[in-house]
Amino acid sequence: MARIKFRFEDKEISPKIVDGVQAGFTIQEVTEDNDIHLNHNCGCVCACSTCHVYVEKGEDSLKEITDREEDFIDRAINPRIESRLACQCVILDDDADIEVIIPDQKLIIGHEH
């Protein structure tokens, strides 16, 4: 099973490690299932940039980025080369070791869960 370490730009939030993630799930789904706040306005259909994250480790264990995703990342706050949309990051490898930074969600007007 995959392992994902979540770190946060908001230093008031401690890092969280989620073990036992099955291939086929998205990073967005993992946040939902583990009470990790990440905005997602479009319902996870790659139509906005609110679930923007930085994948610091394990990019090769995720579904390849599409042109559509790249277009929406360009609209995100502070995009970088390691930027992805969590709703599009499908985990491909059961043995994945992934590390993600979640941008400060206070800067984003979006769906609260």
pLDDT one-digit tens code per residue, 30-66: 999 999 999 988 878 888 899 999 999 999 999 999 9
Whole-number Å distance between alpha carbons of 47 and 61: 23
The answer to whether the CB of 27 falls within 8 A of the CB of 86 is yes
Domain map (residue ranges) of the chain: 2-107
- The larger pLDDT score, comparing residue 50 to residue 112, is at 50
Label the pairing between strands 2-8 and 97-102. Answer: parallel
Six-digit token pair at 48? 């906005």
Name the CATH topology of 2-107.
Answer: Ubiquitin-like (UB roll) (3.10.20)
Q: What is the pTM of this model?
A: 0.92
Question: How confident is the prediction for the chain on average, in pLDDT?
Answer: 93
